[in-house]
A = this chain, B = another copy of it.
């Protein structure tokens, strides 16, 4: 049974803290295995990749067939029904339009000392995108990772996707094609992450790796971090719905189940100021759990991690939400914009009951790769910013050096960094002599 809490109860604080700190995921310790796989790929390159793919994916490859050929991709993509293709194209167009607005601007100005300062943004040259195989192989995630990279100006974008027993998902390939992906390799696991980070005879290394994966992939990303950039380590999905009395409980129940159906470790929480709504949503969740295709997964998630919290007013709901720092937050209340102003930590906010979270997963425009496990306290969803980096710029004139150079020299001396001071002093002396 999900947890039912009343924010006005005496033991609420203890129970809410327990809810917050509940461990939803037991990551198996695969670090030693992953370290060995990475070492193997670094040492033996293609040969290691081919051997590990035969072992884990039951697929015999050669250096020539590691990568999907254009004709293979075209053949597979041709199988996709028109309505699926059109939906993907609409999604891609909307995601691209949203992310185009994220491109940061270069700046340059001259200050009162005469120094010219600023910065310039440049794209990462090459990026790699991990796409899981099997159940969690989502074409929408390909769009959400690949489009920001291409909007940022990444020149070379490579995908790795395991194809167990040779089974490829035509929708994943189509999404890659629509997004403008340059290379697709049929490899997965820690070995694919190692190949992207270090390169092999057939695969050039990349500078940044993004995309979700299992415990092996996550451990491999953590290990190659520093050699390449990585995105966040994603945990199981979460939704928090804040709702007032004027709602359709069926809609809210389906929204909560749309997270619960992802994963047994997913979490769906409802906070409402209306006890009757709490009851009605709970009943609607139970009703749908009898018929849903993924009822076993969604049911386990709801039973183990679901929660319903009654509050006296919506200010309290905002306060609790900020402590939860949810990945997805639906504000199904009369003044959603007003309430959203009180939200300080959340990955994505969905305003009003006409905005089901599933819209954001596919066609809304914003990214669906979002911070989980309370990491919205310090991190953001995937964006164009993940594929660019900033170079700061400074130019001194003789006059500006004369104005601020002595302070630099003073600080250098106070830090016992003599050459730092001398590099400024040599120029100042030249000015004084001139």
Residues of A whose CB lies within 8 Å of any CB of B are 83-84, 86-88, 90-91, 94, 97-98, 101, 104, 107, 109, 111, 115-117, 119-120, 122, 124-125, 135, 138-140, 171, 207-208, 222, 225-226, 228-229, 233, 248, 250-251, 254-255, 257-258, 260-262, 288, 292-294, 298, 336-337, 340, 343-367, 370-371, 373, 375-381, 383, 385, 389-398, 400-401, 404-408, 410-412, 414-424, 426-427, 430
Q: Are A414 and B116 in contact (CB under 8 A)?
A: no
Q: A254-B422, A351-B395, A411-B140 are in contact. Are A365 and B125 (CB under 8 A)?
A: no
Kindly name the residue among A88, A124, A376, A377 whose own CB sees the greatest number of chain B CB atoms within 10 A: A377
Q: Are B117 and A366 in contact (CB under 8 A)?
A: yes
Taking CB atoms, residues of chain B closer than 8 Å to A101 are 107, 109
A390 to B371, CA, bound (A): 10
Taking CB atoms, residues of chain B closer than 8 Å to A364 are 115, 117, 394, 396, 404
Q: Are B90 and A250 in contact (CB under 8 A)?
A: no
Q: A356-B427, A423-B358 are in contact. Are A258 and B414 (CB under 8 A)?
A: no
Q: A111-B365, A378-B124, A407-B363 are in contact. Are A261 and B414 (CB under 8 A)?
A: no
Taking CB atoms, residues of chain B closer than 8 Å to A389 are 345, 371, 376-380
Nearest CB in chain B to that of A388: its residue: B380
Kindly name the residue among A208, A416, A424 whose own CB sees the greatest number of chain B CB atoms within 10 A: A424
Known: A83-B410, A251-B423, A356-B423; 14 extra A-B contacts, CB below 8 A, are A115-B364, A117-B365, A222-B222, A261-B417, A336-B395, A345-B391, A350-B395, A352-B395, A354-B395, A358-B424, A359-B424, A360-B392, A376-B389, A376-B391
Q: Are A298 and B378 in contact (CB under 8 A)?
A: no
Q: Are B359 and A293 in contact (CB under 8 A)?
A: no
